[in-house]
Amino acid sequence: MSACDPRELVLLAAAELDGAARRRIEAHVAECPRCAAELQALRQGLALAARLPAPEPSPEAIDRVRRAALGALARRRPARRPRIAILRRYALTAAAALVALVGWSLVQQWFAPDPVPPGHVAVADGRELTHNWDRWQNAVTDSAVLTEELGTLQQSDPWTLAEIRLAGSASQKAGDELQEIIEHVELIEHDAADGS
């Protein structure tokens, strides 16, 4: 300690310094008689103050300290939400999800087609296929005629001709498959008529 610092002497007298700072100030006090006398007076004053009774704080002071502590605590830690509020929020979310699920289920049932026994569906489909057979047959015939006529055209656009030929062969194949389905449905109708 090159200059006399009264704050450092107070800290040394109150035994608040340790390590290198304490040794440095003690070395200075050993060389400086004025600081040594000041340190001696500080130690005597602290010893006298320690013998005095501790003063009782006033109720106002206690109340101020309590309010300051509670205010600091409220600023530091956010208020906890009661568990019932958290449970209420989850219950409302679950109820909303349940209402949505039930509503979706009702809409699905509302727009679903009426169930029909399997035998009736086959007969109804077979009748519809039989009813539309003439249209299919005409389409197959028309595509075959169109393919023959296109064969006589000049081949200015080979892709278009190939596509039309492919469509014609697909129509013929579809017509053959349709005929098999109709025969199968007629067999089912015959069996159903024999069974009733």
Which of 46, 76, 106 is the last residue in one of the domains? Answer: 76
Contact call for residues 182 and 130 (beta carbons, < 8 A): yes
DSSP states of 82-122:
PHHHHHHHHHHHHHHHHHHHHHHHHHHHHHSPPP--HHHHH
Q: Is residue 19 in a domain?
A: yes
Count of domains observed in the chain:
2
Q: Is residue 49 part of a domain?
A: yes
- Residue 44 has a pLDDT of 92
Torsion of CA 44, 50, 56, 61, to 10 degrees: 70
Return averaged pLDDT per consecutive 10 residues of the chain, 196 residues in all.
78 88 91 92 90 86 89 70 78 90 84 61 49 55 54 50 55 64 71 67
Are residues 65 and 122 both part of a single domain? no
Residue 119 and residue 192 in contact, taking contact as beta carbons nearer than 8 Å = yes
Domain membership flag for residue 20: yes
Q: Which domain holds residue 167?
A: 118-195
Final residue of a domain: which of 53, 76, 99? 76
Same domain for 128 and 71:
no
Q: Is residue 1 part of a domain?
A: no
Which pLDDT value is given to residue 195? Answer: 65
Taking a C-beta distance cutoff of 8 angstroms, is the pair 172, 143 a contact? yes
19 torsion bin: left (phi>0), alpha (psi -120 to 50), beta (else) = left
Asked whether residue 139 is domain-assigned, the answer is yes
Residue 188's pLDDT is: 73
pLDDT of residue 17: 87
pLDDT for the residue 111: 76
Whether 66 and 128 share a structural domain: no
Residues 6+ apart with CB under 8 A from 138: none
